[in-house]
Structure 1
């Protein structure tokens, strides 16, 4: 997980560790530390599934590590200012929408799909 807030929250870290599927390694880092680890090559031997907490974190990660080619926005929490409903599970601010379009314009495939059997919605 790449999330600045979770790194500082022991309760959330413990919850994520308990929810981790058997056989899956969980690493929790800040977004900047995640970018540094990706750039260093230390993660090259692994298949990675990186979870972030927000569209902004996904944007920061993709801008900080140019090898990211695909982003799936599985869901976001409704929150103040997130008045744009991109799907039944994705609520975004106008700024979030700008960031997603910037990523898409840069050649990164940005999709909305909560579970694999759902139809892919491209941004």
Structure 2
């Protein structure tokens, strides 16, 4: 089961592998990202950022959904990473009941859409209108959807942030 999907535009990095992996008690990370799955250079870079002893799978979104739905993973604690809320939504909707929570952490810094259409929700989270719509839809699902950058930072409900728009 995916204990948490973290939406972080950096995907794999030190805080994710060391702090969050320990906090969530996971031995495996699933990167659900179409670009990383198709780009051998990016995949190699992500693998270098992953410490020994931690299993890393890099899959496109459709294959990540298959991994999440595979009954062999029901008893595993998997930490999934996406770089967009839209991809997290696809994963949640494609694997109903297989995701424990979603953490919208660091999003939008590398978004190349029209800057005038972005909405700043809180530090580290900047969303274009499509991502705002995906976040609203994600909050309709029966699972916690929060914003929490670091493991010791307070959790803020994304629905509360969206209500301020």
Give the TM-score normalised by structure 1: 0.91
Matched, 1:7 2:42: no
Matched, 1:111 2:153: no
Aligned partners of 1:69 and 1:107 also within 8 Å: no
Question: Structure 2 regions of 5+ residues with no counterpart?
Answer: 1-30, 159-165
> 2:70 corresponds to which residue?
40
> 1:26 corresponds to which residue?
56
Q: Which runs of 4+ in 1 moved over 2 A?
A: 77-82
In the TM superposition, what is the alpha-carbon distance from 1:40 to its structure 2 partner?
2.2
In 1: Cα distance, 2:47 partner to 2:123 partner: 28
2:123 aligned to which of 67, 78, 88:
88
89-98 or 24-33, which moves further after superposition? 89-98
In the TM superposition, what is the alpha-carbon distance from 1:108 to its structure 2 partner?
2.3
1:58 aligned to which of 88, 100, 106:
88
In 2: Cα distance, 1:58 partner to 1:27 partner: 16
Kindly report the root-mean-square deviation, in angstroms, between the aligned alpha carbons of the 2 structures: 1.4
In the TM superposition, what is the alpha-carbon distance from 1:21 to its structure 2 partner?
2.2
Matched, 1:49 2:79: yes
User: What secondary structure, in the 3-state scheme, does the structure 1 residue paired with 2:52 have?
Assistant: coil
In 1: Cα distance, 2:150 partner to 2:39 partner: 27
User: What secondary structure, in the 3-state scheme, does the structure 1 residue paired with 2:137 have?
Assistant: helix
In the TM superposition, what is the alpha-carbon distance from 1:77 to its structure 2 partner?
3.3
In 2: Cα distance, 1:76 partner to 1:3 partner: 14
Give the TM-score normalised by structure 2: 0.69
In the TM superposition, what is the alpha-carbon distance from 1:2 to its structure 2 partner?
0.6
Corresponding pairs, count: 123
In the TM superposition, what is the alpha-carbon distance from 1:45 to its structure 2 partner?
3.2
In 1: Cα distance, 2:123 partner to 2:57 partner: 29
